[in-house]
Amino acid sequence: MGGLKGRDLLSLADLSAEEITALLDLAARMKAGNVTPIATNGYIPVLGLLFYKASTRTRVSFTVAMAQLGGQVIDLAVSSTQVGRGEPITDTARVLDRYVDILAIRTFEQQDIETFAEYAKIPIVNALTDLEHPCQILADLQTVQETFGTLSGLTLTYLGDGNNIAHSLLLGCALVGMNIRIASPSNYQPNDAIVQQAKTIAAGQSEVILTPDPIAAAKGAQVLYTDVWASMGQEDLADSRIPIFQPYQVNEQLMTYADKDAIVLHCLPAHRGEEITDGVMEGAQSKIWDQAENRMHAQKALIASLLGLV
Ligand code: CP
Ligand code: NVA
């Protein structure tokens, strides 16, 4: 492919529909062991991980993916780098640019990764912000594709907080021609600008629906998706949100409204008994573990493409 060499991935909408299709195809071939990366003639590419928030899946899957591509990883723990003591992003970005080949950043403000991208020439990858989580949604789309053999025309219903996951799902589903329904309490709907962007991308070819009604949203859907009711940085709001979000729990009763072949996805980590029941998480329709595995394949395809290794 090679088409993404040198690019940034700050928002899922930085990719076109064709680029997502090509990445998912590459990820599937990598998962099957059918891709030999381009030889780097002894040069070892290095990925920096700059995470201001906790991570298991993203950190480990990026690290393993890079190792499998023949590269190395530097874990730039914020607490032990100068950026954690207030060195400006504009300075940090220009310095890291001289050392590493690609930088994955997990932080709060979307503006911060945009500043990194402005000041660094190397590819900057959004490894989660408060606004988006594009790497997660690439793995989610891979999981849907390998289950149903297609994406276009399917319906994904997201239940819960209109957060970073909801935002990247809105953009990702619209880009690949999937219908997306977001069911959330009225004060927790997704960012209006992202909803409008998704509607523009969908251009009337697929549905972008927001509703406070979880049952109407679940009806006939092929994918039910949920995430925590309080994201990282909102821990103090978690208890007060439980009664507000309870009607949006993905449980055995809600599953009866979905398509009989529906699958359940959750980006993890999960709070069992809150946004999803233990039974649904462990049930036959759960693809949550395949979804977690696909983080590694999708990111391997992404890194290889951004570095021009394929
Ligand atoms: N889904 C996800 O991003 O998990 P981590 O927070 O463990 O990286
Ligand atoms: N919405 C969650 C996703 C975690 C992967 C958070 O931001 O904490």
CATH number of the domain that 222 lies in? 3.40.50.1370
Phi-psi region of 233 (alpha: psi -120 to 50; beta: other; left: phi over 0): left
Q: Which domain holds residue 106?
A: 12-132+295-306
Q: Is the pLDDT of residue 2 over 80?
A: no
Q: Is the pLDDT of residue 278 over 60?
A: yes
Residue 229 in any domain: the answer is yes
Q: Is 101 a catalytic residue?
A: no
DSSP letters for 83-113: GGGT--HHHHHHHHHHH-SEEEEE-S-HHHH
Residue 4 in any domain: the answer is no
Are residues 94 and 114 both part of a single domain?
Answer: yes
Number of domains in the chain: 2
Choose the catalytic residue: 106, 181, 266, 297.
106
Q: Average pLDDT in the 62-79 region?
A: 96
Atom of ligand 1 nearest to the CA of 267: 1
Residue nearest to atom 1 of ligand 2 (CA): 231
Confidence of residue 1 (pLDDT cuts 50, 70, 90): very low
| pTM score | 0.98
Q: Average pLDDT in the 78-91 region?
A: 95
Residue 262 in any domain: the answer is yes
Compute the distance from residue 42 Cα to the ligand 1 centre, in Å.
Answer: 32
Q: What is the pLDDT of residue 36?
A: 86
Residue 32 in any domain: the answer is yes
Are residues 140 and 274 both part of a single domain?
Answer: yes
Compute the distance from residue 32 Cα to the ligand 2 centre, in Å.
Answer: 29
Residue 92 in any domain: the answer is yes
Q: Is 98 a catalytic residue?
A: no
Q: Is the pLDDT of residue 183 over 50?
A: yes
Q: Is the pLDDT of residue 134 over 70?
A: yes
Q: What is the pLDDT of residue 5?
A: 97
Confidence of residue 263 (pLDDT cuts 50, 70, 90): very high
Are residues 242 and 178 both part of a single domain?
Answer: yes
Confidence of residue 39 (pLDDT cuts 50, 70, 90): confident
Per-chain mean pLDDT for the chain: 97
Atom of ligand 1 nearest to the CA of 58: 8
Are residues 158 and 261 both part of a single domain?
Answer: yes
244 and 185 in contact (C-beta within 8 Å)?
Answer: yes
Are residues 123 and 141 both part of a single domain?
Answer: no
Are residues 99 and 174 both part of a single domain?
Answer: no
Confidence of residue 184 (pLDDT cuts 50, 70, 90): very high
Are residues 98 and 190 both part of a single domain?
Answer: no
Q: Is 68 a catalytic residue?
A: no
Query: Which tens digit of pLDDT belongs to each residue from 281-306?
Result: 999 999 999 999 999 999 999 999 99
Binding residues: 55-58, 82, 106, 133-136, 164, 227, 231-232, 267-268, 295
Are residues 299 and 284 both part of a single domain?
Answer: no
Are residues 283 and 302 both part of a single domain?
Answer: no
Are residues 78 and 168 both part of a single domain?
Answer: no
Binding residues for carbamoyl phosphate: 55-58, 82, 106, 133-136, 267-268, 295
Residue 7 in any domain: the answer is no
Residue 133 CB neighbours (<10 A) = 26
